[in-house]
Structure 1
Amino acid sequence: MMQTIKKWAFLLGAFLLLPAWLSAQNNLKEISGKVLDQMGQPIEGAEISGKEGAISMRTNAEGLFVIRVDPADALLIEADGYASRRVAVSSVVAGEQIALEALDFHLTEKDEVQLPFGTMKKRRITGGVTAIDPKEILTYDNEQLFGGVLNSRVPGLFGGSNIRGLGDALVVVDGIPRSAGSLNLQEIDQISVLRGISARMLYGAQADKGVIMVTTKRGKAFKRTMNITGETGTLDPISFPDYLGAADYMGLYNEALVNDGQDPLYNQQQIQATRNGTDRVLYPDEDFYNSTYLKDRAAFQKLIMESSGGNQAAQYYVNLGWNRIGTLLNLGEGAEENTDRINLRGNVDYQLNDWLKMSLDGIALIDITRGPRYSNFDGQNNTADDFWSISTGIWPNAYPTLIPAGRLEDSGLLPSAVLVGGDRVLGGTSNAQFSEVNLYGELTRNGFQVNTNRVVQINTGLDFDLGGIARGLTAKAYLSFDFINSFIRQQENAYAIYQPVLGMDTTGNQVVAYNKIGVDEKRDDQTIPNGNIGFNRRLGLYGVLDYDRTYDNDNSLKITGVAYRDQFEELGVLQTAKNLHFGLRGNYMIQNKYIVEATGVYAGSPRFTGDQQFAFSPSLGLGWVLTEEPFLASSSLFQYLKLNASWGILNTDQGVNNYYLYRTSYVEPSANFDRIYDYNNEVSSNNALNIVTGNPNIGWVKRREINFGLEALLGKSLWLEANYFNTESYDQITKLTSTYPSVLGGEDFTPFENFEAYSDQGVELGLQLNQGRGDFRYSIGANFVYAEPTAAEVNEPDALLAYRKREGQPTDGMFAYVAEGLFRDQADIDNHALQTFGAVQPGDIKYQDLNGDGIINQNDQQLIGNSRSRFQYGLNIRLGFKNLDLFVQGIGQTGAERYFNDPYYWVFGNRKYSTEVLGRWTPETAGTATYPRLSSTSNPNNFRNSTFWLYEDNWFNLRRVQLTYALPLEVNGIKKVSIYLRGANLLTVSKIREKRELNIGSTPQTRSFAVGLNASF
């Protein structure tokens, strides 16, 4: 496969390069001209493009340019703040000066923002929208994928997709909700983050938590582009779990047994022999995080090639991308593990006549991951433990990984054994906890597995210019099919393991016997496990009627009507997910300074019935550009100042997964069935059925939202955007279990109702400062968001203690016990409230008796923290000098807490011991211990959520640093070549940095380093 990829990459690269070099033709002639504004002043930095964009340059301070083009060609003139213009070369040769029309701020072509089912100039938008230009970002930050580009760049965003703390936003790609995680940034023309309710309303019920719109690239008339980006780099693991060696584990496990009143399992001779390394077969000590199993780093590569262009009649765009991510594993099939992703995108727009244009897109994505086959693979659920999860569970003394083959000579097993490296066999144990698995064998002898995911998308659209009916009237019809296929194939090899068993001969001497477990098998065929073929389909279609008219008095009216439907079918899922709505948006701008926008959506849902099946959602937006008023028109401080406000109520069915909440039905109890009576001579019997009460009046969840904001340009270099938002999600669907008595039939009898409500409010701020002097330039961007979620109305018992009530508390509140340290001795236990989680001993966690009743139980839980940060911020710094650019990006948060309660930290029973237990309580460390006493049981007293396991999760991460150098090339046909060095995830500052950077049971967190090249033709 790799050779095929390289061949196609070479051929496409040659295809892209050929037209650029052919542009150096003998008939090109040098011409000069001058670009002015309407007042006759020269325009510096205007871009002059010829030969459909294959040749370009910029004007100097006097507005002059010199360019080599074909005399029969035409030039495209573009400049920020001006309307673009196309002029014939013959006009320039004749000495005609080129004048460009100045446009008001945020009303230029570059200010066109993608909104639901259309575009709108940024000045006309009534708040809560940020547009990202990937092309501009890629000049200084070669972000790998779509998922990372939004981090720290958009005010109001927590991470990369959580808008204002509401949860993951709806992601829309080219008009239809789709996953964008696999998109290369080079494929994307614009990303619009729609936070305000007025801006996102036209996506109906799906727009509940915000919308992130991704618009992919298309060809542009007379703008030929050709780009190649290549990159290679490494992923360096930050840390691995730190588990104790076998001797320490054995000693501490003995201590845990003694603490629980049991006899030690290991004698001192065993422990000492293990510590001395006397015999690694009889006294194993295995560590899996070493060079046998792991490399120092994993490699990754990326190659992306794109080409676009066209003329007035037809435009095209094509993109081919290949990404490979290697592995940290260093053994057998593990060393060959990798993920390859191939993206192919192509589209064409063709002007059929003067009023009809057609578009056709074809997209293919192939994602292939190859790695070892693990024995515990679940074919039905497509799940399996892997190296990282298996290694966290195997005790260091569980079994020897490899046994010298000579040790089997007296057992009679050697002739049939399959040797590893010619002189060893795989060790193992029949202990069910380890599933008769040898990690070395899993990587080298168990075969391989290939996961393949394929996506094919076909989009087609018709654009109608209905200006003959009414000036400014257009229409669009759009149809999209997505086909998503996945399957797994395996080579199902097997391996035998050999378990050493200690015994005594008749003379009392120690002997070792070996038991063979399993069989060795190497298969030539490959299989697809049962249930591991997936096929999903998505259908999306919509029709748009749009009226966009600007009048002579600087008044503008834009009306958009939409009929929309999409559905997603999953193999094996009975109900098809469907969305249907009709919408109308009207935006009226008066004298380029007053904006009024109203939107209404009428949506239907299959999750409700009767009068509740359809709902109407309205929104209203207002804007006022104050700098157009006389009292600010001449302000030296405010070059631009706009106030905006929006309000809306959105009805949504998102998150309502059950389609039949309105219907009363009978279901079998989830527990063992209760036999009512036998009949037919006890041949047959009836089983109990529970009544599930339906509620035909159950209806839509509603979100009421207001937003007040401002946008300002201070001086000529500081951009500021700020918003206050307040949103309430009410009529949440829940069971009023605290209202209905349980004697009526319990939870099944209790119907779902619209009751609970949750509110979120906060502020967001974005700043961007751009300055330059001579060859030096700099840009500083900062984004902040503060959001406070509150449970406004919750169904809970009236008699509930005040400190246990959720109502009025943070929605993400963490309710648990307040730890008071560890019990010092028996007297401390005797003088404390009775804890009801089993017998306690000195060294166990002591909890606060909040209600003073002398008993510690669930009534002693209170709010101890919140799981989401309240404040998140991002910083972007860009420094430039001549051809050199340095970009630094950081992101941080405050105001969150986090439990560390996975098996690495909660060590009890027969779990593997991490270094966390070294601070354990013993009688000698009673005054300094940082960890409870060890226990060989589950110890429910110690291992439950409490402040003992809670940490402040405040941090700052130096996310990316990139140094870019644009080579000073002057080669005809090559516009720009740049090389870059990049580091990512370089530094985390936090009190719990080591805990935050440690992954348990999954691939380690990594720092990445890359070198790349980008060429434009």
Structure 2
Amino acid sequence: MNLKTKLILAIILMLGISINAQNEKTIKGVVVSVADNFPIPGVNVIVVGTTNGTTTDFDGNYEIKAKSGDVLQFSYVGYTTKTVIVGEQLTIDVSLKEDIAQLDEVVVIGYGDQKQKNVTSALTKIDSEEIQDIAVARVEDALQGRVAGLRIQTVASEAGGDPKITLRGPGSITGSSSPLIVVDGVVLGTDADILSSIDNNDIESISVLKDASSVAIYGSRGANGVIMVTLKQGVEGDTKFTYNTFTGYQFATDNKNFTFSVAEERARLDGLQSAVNSIVDPVNFARVNSRYDQAYAELAAWDYLSTLSGGEMDLQKEILPGGTITSHSFGARGGSELTKYSASVAFLEDEGIALADNFKKYNANLKIDTKSKSGKIKAGVNLRGSYNDQDRLPARFTDALRQYGAIPLYLNQDHLDIFNAYRDAGGELSAAGTLYDNLEVGSYGFSRLFDRVFFQGQDNPRGLLLDPNTGLPVINTQQGLPGQLTLGLTRNVGPLVPYLERSRIKRRFSLNASAYVDFKLAKGLNFKQTISGVFRHTKNNDADFVLGNENIVTFGDEAFRLERRDEVNQYVIESVLRYKRDFGKHNLNTILGFEFTNRDFFRQESEAFGVYSNDFNENIALADEGTTFTQNGSDKLVSYFGRIDYNYNEKYLLQVSARTDGSTRFGSNTRFGFFPALSVGWNVSNEDFLASSDVITFLKLRASYGISGSNQISNNIFDSLYRFEETYAIVSANGQTGVKNTALANSNLGWEKLVEFNPA
């Protein structure tokens, strides 16, 4: 444990904070409404302060793991949030009260906003209070269990690792199924690590658009759903400063399926004795019992080797030592009646739980909004920068955890004496010895080094053959002798070597900038012009040092380097005309817009192997088999869109939207796609016959139909079997150089569309 970790833990102990390590238990229960005692499906149930969460099923039932002292939070749109402290009980039933005030809240939808009670599409809103106090490294971790249908799957166990996000299942057959990320109205894309660049403390709210009627306004990019993040704005009044921080310690519990000690493995074998004795067939019994005796003898060999190393390692504790997670966020918000501002800086470090694992995130955000004295002109700018520095896991856990802790991390002279005795009949080093003749004191140990150097005992087949004079194991000095034991468990690398002699570094810098000006043209009529830009630079450096590949025949003891640089530059021009008026009981909210997006991307990738050298700069001549790959590309998207929201007396609701997208990713014959949507709703609780009901306080029926699309085909037309551009290769013949066609253009390559109908 490093000094930083020790100091943090010491401070925690001085403050009298105790760590509760009680075992988790399964809590079950039913969530019902206070008004009618009916079950409520879709209620979000979470353990406060963690990412552990679930939702109730159609009958209001839920099941979640928690421990005594945890706080369960139950929340659902239109109901008051309730918290319950877990005691010794295993069943917790909850009744929720309706909260009609929530339904008058305004929620963010595509290119606008709407009262929550008048929304006719599938939408979930998460407020900042629900996520800002959770000690996690990424926004996605705070969203787990809070949005029905949103699946956030951990596919990388490293600190800061990108999750796989899907909304209501996959939305594409061959392309990406990740939802679109929109921050303060700026479309950023579908990359998994976009949300990792946002500080949780900067978030005002998150709206998750789920069905086709809500996402069709985003056309070709909405098939997988949309996650809309709204950042905090300035407030009128004196500047208010905020400081948020948390520190925690994370660890992994021992998994008994891995890394048995020799004693534990011997106990497991003892437990199988009755099964072996029950074999009736004598031939089969002899065969199985022989293998059974050999397994005991191999454990005896590992026992002896561990004594030469000073004992066994606990590989789970060595590979998964645990680590701290620390966050600091400082913000300032204030302004006058005309100009408001919000600024923040943040730092987060997550040490992860593994030996070679670390994630650092730096954030800075500035948001300024101003307006004229008449209020007819509004303008604003938003600058947001982030830098992520990540040390990624260089190897899988399974390769190391399936080995024995008796394998020496470093070889000493006793190990070498055993190994060097193994020779062929002519007294020369054996084939195995020749392969490993570069080893010396201090080299990394590995299991295969000790293959066939010990003998199975003759009088005691479950032990080693011992020298009667010294009592020590007899060491094999010649190939071909009977009774040799095979101890090789995996390839020729010790269990900790991949974490000590390999490096996987990922660094990303992101800069997002946007500016807008909004003109009030007439009563209820506004025109808004926005321009935004996104710059992202990502650098990956992978390194396998010489000792990390020591004695792996496949790589020939060579060091390995890979460097990949990715750059994305995007700018968007957006023009939106909005008309919002109430005519008595008739309420109208419409938009008409145009959007142009240009995206340039670049990738350069180089890799090389270096024979017996970690230095590719001073000794570049030692590098061989090097390759360099570059890719440049650009795509453009032109869009026209519109939406009409109408309701009569907030009872009868209608929304119609349409969008046309034209993308350079597709063939000339099918470049444009059309994406319409329609949704209707009925606020039954606003009818006179329910106005005085004590049983039903809010009831809405709705249905939606829509078509959304996906343009998530390969950015690299050379990787696509369905390319729409012709490609060529250089050829030579008879001393002449020319080109030949390698793929024909596909002018009919078109849109992938998703059609949805959602009655609710």
What band does the TM-score fall into relative to the shorter chain? 0.5 to 0.7
The yes-or-no answer on 1:462 pairing with 2:471 is: no
Amino acid at match of 2:342: Y
Q: Is the 8 A contact 1:362 1:456 kept in 2?
A: no
The structural deviation recorded for 1:542 is: 1.7
The structural deviation recorded for 1:585 is: 0.6
Q: Flag structure 2 segments of 5+ consecutive residues without an equivalent.
A: 4-77, 79-99, 154-164, 172-177, 277-282, 422-436, 452-487, 604-629
Residues 607-1006 of structure 1 correspond to what in structure 2 (within 5 A)? 607-655=665-713, 661=722, 696-709=747-760
The structural deviation recorded for 1:554 is: 3.3
Q: Is the 8 A contact 2:394 2:504 kept in 1?
A: no
RMSD: 5.0
Q: Distance in 2 between matches of 1:350 and 1:695?
A: 49
Amino acid at match of 2:587: S
The structural deviation recorded for 1:392 is: 4.7
Amino acid at match of 1:242: F
Q: Is the 8 A contact 2:329 2:346 kept in 1?
A: yes
The structural deviation recorded for 1:318 is: 1.6
Q: Is the 8 A contact 1:451 1:486 kept in 2?
A: no
The yes-or-no answer on 1:545 pairing with 2:577 is: yes
Q: Flag structure 1 segments of 5+ consecutive residues without an equivalent.
A: 4-80, 82-103, 372-383, 500-516, 522-527, 669-677, 710-1017
The structural deviation recorded for 1:277 is: 5.1
Q: Is the 8 A contact 1:274 1:284 kept in 2?
A: no
Tell me the equivalent position of 1:242: 258
The structural deviation recorded for 1:696 is: 3.9
Tell me the equivalent position of 1:775: none
Structure-2 change in CA distance of 1:694 and 1:184 (3 Å)? same
Structure-2 change in CA distance of 1:487 and 1:181 (3 Å)? closer
Residues 144-163 of structure 1 correspond to what in structure 2 (within 5 A)? 145-159=138-152, 161-163=165-167
Q: Is the 8 A contact 2:385 2:512 kept in 1?
A: no
Q: Distance in 2 between matches of 1:498 and 1:698?
A: 49
Q: Is the 8 A contact 1:463 1:474 kept in 2?
A: no
The structural deviation recorded for 1:627 is: 3.1
Tell me the equivalent position of 2:493: 437
Q: Distance in 1 between matches of 2:439 and 2:721?
A: 59
Tell me the equivalent position of 1:232: 247
Tell me the equivalent position of 2:460: none
Tell me the equivalent position of 2:505: 451
Q: Distance in 1 between matches of 2:330 and 2:352?
A: 25
Q: Is the 8 A contact 2:666 2:724 kept in 1?
A: no
Deviation track 1:671-729 (CA, whole Å, cap 9, x = no partner) reads: xxxxxxx997xx99999x998676544432322222222xxxxxxxxxxxxxxxxxxxx
Tell me the equivalent position of 2:481: none
- Residues paired across the two proteins, number: 537
2:445 to 423, 427, 431: 427
The structural deviation recorded for 1:440 is: 4.6
Q: Partner of 2:685: helix, strand, or coil?
A: helix
Tell me the equivalent position of 1:365: 386
Deviation track 1:807-828 (CA, whole Å, cap 9, x = no partner) reads: xxxxxxxxxxxxxxxxxxxxxx
Structure-2 change in CA distance of 1:630 and 1:440 (3 Å)? closer
The yes-or-no answer on 1:535 pairing with 2:567 is: yes
Deviation track 1:92-148 (CA, whole Å, cap 9, x = no partner) reads: xxxxxxxxxxxx96674xx11111112222233222112111235547x56653213
The yes-or-no answer on 1:476 pairing with 2:532 is: no
The structural deviation recorded for 1:278 is: 6.1
Q: State TM-score, norm by structure 2.
A: 0.59
Structure-2 change in CA distance of 1:633 and 1:695 (3 Å)? same
Q: Distance in 1 between matches of 2:358 and 2:725?
A: 50
Tell me the equivalent position of 1:133: 127
Tell me the equivalent position of 2:107: 113
Q: Is the 8 A contact 1:105 1:640 kept in 2?
A: no
Structure-2 change in CA distance of 1:197 and 1:393 (3 Å)? same
Structure-2 change in CA distance of 1:283 and 1:188 (3 Å)? same
Q: Is the 8 A contact 2:385 2:509 kept in 1?
A: yes
Q: Distance in 2 between matches of 1:199 and 1:490?
A: 42
Structure-2 change in CA distance of 1:637 and 1:269 (3 Å)? closer
Tell me the equivalent position of 2:642: 584
Tell me the equivalent position of 2:182: 172
Residues 140-219 of structure 1 correspond to what in structure 2 (within 5 A)? 145-159=138-152, 161-167=165-171, 168-175=178-185, 176-178=187-189, 179-219=194-234
Q: Distance in 2 between matches of 1:433 and 1:696?
A: 55
Q: Is the 8 A contact 2:220 2:673 kept in 1?
A: no
Structure-2 change in CA distance of 1:440 and 1:463 (3 Å)? same
Q: Partner of 1:303: helix, strand, or coil?
A: strand
Deviation track 1:53-94 (CA, whole Å, cap 9, x = no partner) reads: xxxxxxxxxxxxxxxxxxxxxxxxxxxx9xxxxxxxxxxxxx
Structure-2 change in CA distance of 1:636 and 1:518 (3 Å)? closer
Amino acid at match of 1:157: L
Structure-2 change in CA distance of 1:154 and 1:353 (3 Å)? same
1:598 to 631, 642, 656: 656
Q: Partner of 2:699: helix, strand, or coil?
A: strand
Q: Distance in 2 between matches of 1:691 and 1:616?
A: 32
Q: Is the 8 A contact 1:286 1:401 kept in 2?
A: no
The yes-or-no answer on 1:345 pairing with 2:399 is: no
Tell me the equivalent position of 1:391: 400
The structural deviation recorded for 1:568 is: 5.5
Q: Is the 8 A contact 2:315 2:405 kept in 1?
A: no
Tell me the equivalent position of 2:339: 314
Structure-2 change in CA distance of 1:393 and 1:478 (3 Å)? farther
Amino acid at match of 1:206: R
The structural deviation recorded for 1:325 is: 1.6
Structure-2 change in CA distance of 1:163 and 1:407 (3 Å)? closer
Amino acid at match of 1:348: I
Structure-2 change in CA distance of 1:105 and 1:280 (3 Å)? closer
Q: Partner of 2:318: helix, strand, or coil?
A: coil
The structural deviation recorded for 1:197 is: 1.9
Q: Distance in 1 between matches of 2:296 and 2:320?
A: 31
Q: Partner of 2:221: helix, strand, or coil?
A: helix
The structural deviation recorded for 1:660 is: 7.3
Deviation track 1:468-495 (CA, whole Å, cap 9, x = no partner) reads: x321121222222222223356898654
Structure-2 change in CA distance of 1:554 and 1:107 (3 Å)? farther
Q: Partner of 1:186: helix, strand, or coil?
A: helix
Q: Is the 8 A contact 1:427 1:497 kept in 2?
A: no
Could you tell which deviates more after superposition, 152-161 or 586-595? 152-161
Tell me the equivalent position of 1:403: 411
Q: State TM-score, norm by structure 1.
A: 0.46
Q: Is the 8 A contact 1:273 1:283 kept in 2?
A: no
Q: Partner of 1:275: helix, strand, or coil?
A: helix
Q: Is the 8 A contact 2:394 2:503 kept in 1?
A: no
Structure-2 change in CA distance of 1:133 and 1:242 (3 Å)? same
Q: Distance in 2 between matches of 1:320 and 1:493?
A: 37
Q: Partner of 1:198: helix, strand, or coil?
A: helix
% same residue: 21
Tell me the equivalent position of 1:324: 349
Q: Distance in 2 between matches of 1:130 and 1:491?
A: 43
Structure-2 change in CA distance of 1:238 and 1:344 (3 Å)? same
2:588 to 539, 548, 557: 557
Structure-2 change in CA distance of 1:405 and 1:215 (3 Å)? same
Structure-2 change in CA distance of 1:269 and 1:498 (3 Å)? farther
Q: Is the 8 A contact 2:339 2:371 kept in 1?
A: yes
Structure-2 change in CA distance of 1:196 and 1:224 (3 Å)? farther
